[in-house]
Chain A
Amino acid sequence: MDLLTLLQILDSTMRLATPLLLACLAGLFSERAGIFDIGLEGKMLAAAFLSAAVAYTSGSVWIGLLAGIAASLVLSGIHGLASITFRGNQLISGVAINFLAAGLTVVIAQSWFAQGGRTPQLSGAARFNPITLPFADSLRDVPVLGPIYYELISGHTILVYVALLCVPATWWILYRTRFGLRLRAVGENPAAVDTAGVSVVGLRFAAVGICGVLCGIAGAYLATALQAGFVKDMSAGRGYIALAALIFAKWRPWYALYATLLFGFLQALALRPDLIEAVLSFKVNGQLLDVLPYILTVIILAGFVGKAIPPRAGGEPYVKER
């Protein structure tokens, strides 16, 4: 395997890991505040649809991105209303959101565009185009580092860099700000936060809101950066893999980056069965690579590789003592 092939796989890893990373960080905010969210998938799907639809209509991908975030936020609001305000079951609300998004996107797409539940193709300014980082072209011929910079680091859409920046930002917010401390506390012991005179409901809604924004970016990335339009069910289970990555990362931002990169790498590797065969000199079943993320998560959950302890108050609606 030469350097260029390796870089191609790593390049593919970056693209495939980005939506997982954004969704994983989204889940991290929500679950750290004590709100389980299996509706990541549905939010991504809704955002993918509306971002593509609005980007097509307006001709501007940035307006599309905002619309995608808005769609995701609306679903987040429903989830918050059901599970925070009305203290409903968070898992059921999440499942409902997934179904709602899967159905509504296709129905609305069909009624707006009549193309079998798709949006029309985006072109030009209506989609995120790859950006070449400064000096990438001139440094291209530098041995080893040149190709790495040109092929791997440069040439992604801006959302990839946004996603990567979200990792330190998340770490900083969670561990270095007052808001972050309270947010983590509300997921561990909401009664203590309440005693301190801070609104549990407000904090949880803020967390669910951040989750919505990040899912919105993830969905818009699928439909307007990786693709040029929406296709029904295009999130294809990425929200669930992001949840697996979140558990794998034990609800910590930097580990979330590593976990999603690993899962992205496995997905990228599954696309090159010929390489695996050449390196290992036997045929590996592609399906095995596809299920590896889930197997790894189960191993982690079973406690073989350290312990994954979820936020203690996760999944429980907070009832104020009287």
Chain B
Amino acid sequence: MTLTTKFLGATAVLALSAGAVAADPAILFDLGGKFDKSFNESAFNGAQRWAEETGGTYAEVEIQSDAQREQAIRRFAETGANPIVMAGFAWASALGDVAGDYPDTKFQIIDMVVDAPNVRSIVFAEEQGSYLVGMLAAMASETGTVGFIGGMDIPLIRNFACGYAQGALAANPDATIVANMTGTTPAAWNDPVKGSEMTKAQISQGVDVIYAAAGGTGVGVLQTAADEDILSIGVDANQNYLHPGEVLTSMLKRVDNAVYDALIAGDTLEAGFNVMDLSNGGVGYAVDEHNEALITAEMTAALDAAQASIVAGEISVHNYNTDESCPALDF
């Protein structure tokens, strides 16, 4: 028996035994890694919650480069993992290529749409969550001027800005919104120095609450806001703890819920297009021990009312992606 045949035999045995266990779900994290304090960690938390509640186990991988995406999906599909959950829009093209080859495996992709009969696509209504934190910002602001700092200038981020502006204007019709984008290249996600300078520039324009939807650049925004004693708003995961008492709130994308729901559904996961919004707890804002002193009862009441109206359809928050324009903010 040569070495190669040994390996082949071992692989076959592995594949068979994996097939026998069957239907263990798999989570594929994106490049940030599962402890990124944001998107991926949220996905990881959802999976952990499922594992603790059901006693189940799941397979996982943190890829190290873009080139591994297709290989990772195929590997898990071959070993019989089902469903396979991918966190991050960057998985879309690899999944689009692979999904057709494994018609019996269910896939879920978060933050992007892949149109295939066995893929469940989850997108978040960021504009609704941003609307709520926008209201909160306008109510907490003493100057009536609130700021927004985005990362890369793409429609997804403009949607955050647009929802935020609509919310701020809803809470205070006279509010001024100052919006800046860090840049137009992916480097804009990781330029905290520029984030800091933009924060200072906005402060000199009278801004006293800043919402950062800018990935690593947001670290600089939150830091400078805390240094200069103004309020900031985090994004994606709960970032309130970063500067206790100085972060007004965080706009939450409940990636953990999306993952948890998929794992609960197991191989009966329903394919198709899904929006996680306020009505199903997909987006929201964070209140915990770090910021509860900043949120007054009046604010909570106003937000609860707005949330109910949005869910009931009485307030419709404009989605930037539908027509690439924003009624409340001029880019």
Chain A residues in the interface with B (C-beta under 8 A): 4-5, 8, 11-12, 15-16, 19, 110, 114-118, 121, 222, 226-229, 231-234, 236-237, 267-268, 271-274, 286-287, 290
Contacts and interface: CB of A to CB of B under 8 A. Distances in A.
A26 B193 CA distance: 20
A32 B317 CA distance: 59
Contacts, number: 86
A115 B37 contact: yes
Interface string B25-47: 00000001101111011000000
5 closest Cβ pairs, A-B complex: A116-B36, A236-B191, A231-B216, A271-B201, A233-B190
Given A8-B204, A233-B190, A227 B196 contact: yes
Given A8-B201, A118-B37, A231-B219, 7 more contacts: A8-B200, A16-B193, A227-B219, A233-B190, A234-B191, A234-B216, A271-B197
A236 B194 contact: yes
B205 interface: yes
6 contacts: A15-B197, A232-B216, A236-B187, A236-B194, A271-B194, A286-B181
B183 interface: yes
Best-buried of B181, B190, B198, B205 by chain A (most CB within 10 Å)? B190
Interface of B: 32-33, 35-38, 40-41, 178, 180-181, 183-184, 187, 190-194, 196-198, 200-201, 204-205, 216, 219-220, 223, 242
B35 A229 contact: no
Contact of B197 (A12, A117, A121): A12
Nearest to A273: B180
Chain B at the A interface: SS class: helix
B190 A227 contact: no
Given A12-B197, A274-B205, A236 B190 contact: yes
Given A116-B33, A117-B33, A121-B223, A236 B201 contact: no
Contacts of A4: 204
Contacts of A274: 178, 205
Nearest to A271: B201
A290 B183 contact: yes
Contacts of A118: 37, 216, 219
Contacts of A110: 33
A306 B187 CA distance: 33
Contacts of A267: 194, 197
B202 to A, nearest CB: 9
B2 to A, nearest CB: 35
Given A12-B200, A227-B192, A271 B180 contact: yes
Contacts of A15: 197
A55 to B, nearest CB: 15
A114 B34 CA distance: 9
Contacts of B183: 290
B37 A227 contact: no
Contacts of A287: 184
Contacts of B200: 8, 11-12
Contacts of B32: 116-117
A237 B187 CA distance: 8
A187 B38 CA distance: 49
A23 to B, nearest CB: 13
